[in-house]
């Protein structure tokens, strides 16, 4: 969308601005409009797009200035360039700039506005007018907000909302990369139901949470062993332990803070660990047998963050602010140290879409070429594993959010073309549908940039990650292979071994 800005600000000085300064002020404004505001602006930029002072007036110690602009030297940038200029000029007459008060700030975005775009309660927005061909925002901002580039971020936000309103309903752009040979299926039931029937799993007491009995656990561990032997070992991924409680700062840097809120399991801490402070809560429980959640809510701080959502963000503070030697790269690590938690709400299904799940996360760093190369090596190994060892019917596809695909936002040359996610999906005979059971992502410089990690050579540092969902592998495998061990591929039968029942129920 084409932005236009209108800004009026009061520049408040330490004393009255004398009339004799008028001519100098006129010259300064002239210089700002013809020279200073044009610095760094491309030669072919239309004149009416470039920041301009369109009016100014003096009243006692206050200089009121009005700026207008399009996309070049935006009105707020023009204000700060002018501040520097005028502070120097008035300073020579011992008049100091005390304060800048933003009287009025208006942003107009011209372009096609999709129907149903909601701009209610945007931060810093006093009023928003949404018309078919333009959006007009009146902002309530201070000079400090302008210096913090609030208007630019707000415009980016409105543009994102516009894109989401256009493409939002369309989900993802999906492009098939590989399709395995077809397989025959003898088992056509929902594996979760069969696992329950056989006593392999039981519902736990929290939503979307299961207790995995010995057999189910052995299958998880068999898959884990396969991943270690076929992928992690040969490609040299080293095991690490990533934290599973994620403070806001990590999600701010990883970018998850932009939108993860509806799916977080939030974490809070006690306001104090003084037992006396908590005694009434304990007493209430002892007398009523009920945990007094409302009382607890008053006694906790935070949330300070949430439980692990994606595994890799918590790795990055390990490298935060550091510069890696060239020979550290490519670096490959993985984590399997704990659960991930997502509030899936009504989407919960079986063991494959749950609120608490188990995942092995592979993470790698390198130059763009090394990062892409690791992704390719993984694709190759996964393919062999699913085709030759697990004998699954599966496919892989490049997935891109629609608006990104549409706007060519992922476009780029060479390695950049590879930024994005490949989903691995398995066929589910019982529902004649496909289940995403893992993915491989090339994330470009997103994480190194977010966590300020550099490499000695000064070159680009990229990363990638791959999340192997054990519940999803199990659901896919059992849905296709069933529960008769004789039908299972040898590689998994051998690792599963003799997982006899431990608990028998009367
Ligand atoms: P979906 O579209 O199925 O919700 P997603 O795109 O949210 O998946 P990612 O964020 O890409 O999933 O997570 C990576 C991997 O983590 C998935 O491929 C899957 O194996 C696993 N995973 C994600 N959410 C769940 C869940 N609710 N239950 C079990 N496994 C999950
Ligand atoms: Zn990841
Ligand atoms: Mg999801």
Map out the domains of the chain as residue ranges: 2-167, 174-267+307-496, 269-302
173 in contact with ligand 1, CB cutoff 6 A: no
Q: How many helical (H) and strand (E) elements, i.e. helices and strands, does the chain have?
A: 15, 22
- Ligand 3 center–CA 133 separation, angstroms: 34
**Residue 128 · residue 137 · CB < 8 Å:** yes
Among the bound ligands, the one closest to the CA of 468: 1
Among the bound ligands, the one closest to the CA of 309: 1
State the distance between the two ends of the chain, measured CA to CA, in whole angstroms: 69
- Ligand 1 center–CA 471 separation, angstroms: 10
| Residue 264, CA atoms < 13 Å, CB-side half-sphere | 20
Element spanning 454, H or E? strand 454-455
Residue 412 φ/ψ, nearest 5 degrees? 165, 175
Domain 2-167 has CATH 3.30.460.80: no
Q: Strand, helix or coil at 224?
A: helix
353 in contact with ligand 1, CB cutoff 6 A: yes
350 in contact with ligand 1, CB cutoff 6 A: no
**Residue 195 · residue 216 · CB < 8 Å:** yes
Entry pTM: 0.89
Q: How many Å apart are CA 207 and CA 263, to the nearest integer?
A: 13
4 in contact with ligand 1, CB cutoff 6 A: no
**67 dihedral zone (left: phi>0; alpha: psi -120 to 50; beta):** beta
> What is the residue whose two structure tokens read 């068999």?
222
472 in contact with ligand 1, CB cutoff 6 A: yes
**Ligand 1, atom 24: closest residue by C-alpha:** 353
Describe the crossing of helices 214-227 and 470-481 by its angle, rounded to 10 degrees: 110
Q: Strand, helix or coil at 205?
A: coil
Overall residue count recorded for the chain in this entry? 506
- Ligand 3 center–CA 234 separation, angstroms: 30
**Residue 407 · residue 434 · CB < 8 Å:** no
Residues marked as catalytic: 312, 342, 344, 353, 361, 423, 436, 439, 465, 472
Q: How many Å apart are CA 443 and CA 320, to the nearest integer?
A: 17
- Ligand 3 center–CA 278 separation, angstroms: 37
The string of DSSP letters for 132-192 reads TTEEEEEE---HHHHHTTHHHHHHHHHHHHHHHHHHGGG-EEEEEEEEPPP---S--S-HH
263 in contact with ligand 1, CB cutoff 6 A: no
Answer positive or negative: Cα dihedral of 474, 478, 483, 486.
negative
256 in contact with ligand 1, CB cutoff 6 A: no
CA-based nearest residue to 363, from 464, 228, 229: 464
Per-residue pLDDT at 185: 96
> Which of 265, 351, 359 to probe ligand 1 with, by most ligand atoms within 8 A of CB?
359
Q: What is the mean pLDDT of each run of 10 residues along the chain (506 residues)?
A: 96 95 96 97 95 97 98 97 96 95 97 85 93 95 96 93 80 92 96 96 97 96 97 98 98 95 98 98 98 98 97 98 97 98 95 98 98 98 97 96 65 81 97 97 96 97 98 98 96 88 82
**Ligand 1, atom 2: closest residue by C-alpha:** 436
C-alpha separations of 427 from 37, 384, 399, 457 in Å: 60, 17, 17, 45
Among the bound ligands, the one closest to the CA of 207: 1
- Ligand 3 center–CA 107 separation, angstroms: 35
359 in contact with ligand 1, CB cutoff 6 A: yes
* Number of other residues whose CB lies within 10 A of the CB of residue 98: 12
Per-residue pLDDT at 408: 56
> What is the residue whose two structure tokens read 């608490």?
356
Per-residue pLDDT at 406: 65
CA-based nearest residue to 97, from 89, 105, 108, 107: 89
Per-residue pLDDT at 411: 58
**Ligand 1, atom 18: closest residue by C-alpha:** 438
- Ligand 3 center–CA 152 separation, angstroms: 30
CATH architecture of the domain with range 174-267+307-496: 2-Layer Sandwich (3.30)
**Ligand 1, atom 16: closest residue by C-alpha:** 469
Per-residue pLDDT at 32: 98
Strand-pair category, 172-179 with 201-203: unpaired
- Ligand 2 center–CA 361 separation, angstroms: 7
Among the bound ligands, the one closest to the CA of 355: 1
Residue 352 φ/ψ, nearest 5 degrees? -90, -20
DSSP 72: B
152 in contact with ligand 1, CB cutoff 6 A: no
* Number of other residues whose CB lies within 10 A of the CB of residue 144: 10
Strand-pair category, 201-203 with 210-212: antiparallel
């Amino acid at each position: 969308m084409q932005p236009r800005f209108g800004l009026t600000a009061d520049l408040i000085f330490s004393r009255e601005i004398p009339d004799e300064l008028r001519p100098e002020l006129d010259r300064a404004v002239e210089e700002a409009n013809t020279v200073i505001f044009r610095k760094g602006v491309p030669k072919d930029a239309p004149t009416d797009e470039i920041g301009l002072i369109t009016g100014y007036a003096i009243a006692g110690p206050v200089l009121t200035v009005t700026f207008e602009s399009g996309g070049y030297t935006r009105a707020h940038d023009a204000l700060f360039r002018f501040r520097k200029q005028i502070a120097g000029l008035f300073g020579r007459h011992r008049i100091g700039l005390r304060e800048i008060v933003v009287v009025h700030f208006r942003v107009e975005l011209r372009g096609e506005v999709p129907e149903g775009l909601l701009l209610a309660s945007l931060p810093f927005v006093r009023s928003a007018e949404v018309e078919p061909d333009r959006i007009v925002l009146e902002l309530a901002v201070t000079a400090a907000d302008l210096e913090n580039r609030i208007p630019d971020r707000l415009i980016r936000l409105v543009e994102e909302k516009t894109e989401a309103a256009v493409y939002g309903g369309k989900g993802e752009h999906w492009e098939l990369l590989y399709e395995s040979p077809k397989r025959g299926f003898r088992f056509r039931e929902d594996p979760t139901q069969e696992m329950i029937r056989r006593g392999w799993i039981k519902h736990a007491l929290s939503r979307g949470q299961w207790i995995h009995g010995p057999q189910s656990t052995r299958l998880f561990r068999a898959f884990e062993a396969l991943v270690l032997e076929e992928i992690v070992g040969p490609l040299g991924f080293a095991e690490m332990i990533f934290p599973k409680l994620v403070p806001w700062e990590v999600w701010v840097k990883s970018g998850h803070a932009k939108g993860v809120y509806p799916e977080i399991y939030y974490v809070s801490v006690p306001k104090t660990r003084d037992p006396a402070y908590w005694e009434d809560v304990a007493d209430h429980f002892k007398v009523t047998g009920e945990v007094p959640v409302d009382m607890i809510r008053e006694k906790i701080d935070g949330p300070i963050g949430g439980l692990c959502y994606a595994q890799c963000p918590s790795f990055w503070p390990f490298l935060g602010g550091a510069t890696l030697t060239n020979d550290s790269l490519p670096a490959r690590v993985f984590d399997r140290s704990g659960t991930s938690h997502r509030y899936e709400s009504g989407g919960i299904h079986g063991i494959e879409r749950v609120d608490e799940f188990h995942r092995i996360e592979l993470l790698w760093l390198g130059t763009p070429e090394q990062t892409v190369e690791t992704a390719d090596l993984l694709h190759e190994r996964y393919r062999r594993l699913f085709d030759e060892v697990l004998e699954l019917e599966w496919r892989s596809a490049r997935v891109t959010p629609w608006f990104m695909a549409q706007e060519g936002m992922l476009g780029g040359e060479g390695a950049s073309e590879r930024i994005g996610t490949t989903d691995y999906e398995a066929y589910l005979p019982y529902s004649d549908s496909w289940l995403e059971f893992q993915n491989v992502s090339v994330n470009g410089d997103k994480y190194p940039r977010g966590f300020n990690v550099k490499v000695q050579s000064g070159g680009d540092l990229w990363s990638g990650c791959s999340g192997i969902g054990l519940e999803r592998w199990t659901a896919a495998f059992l849905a296709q292979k069933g529960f008769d061990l004789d039908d299972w591929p040898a590689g998994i039968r051998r690792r599963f071994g003799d997982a006899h029942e431990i608990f028998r129920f009367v």
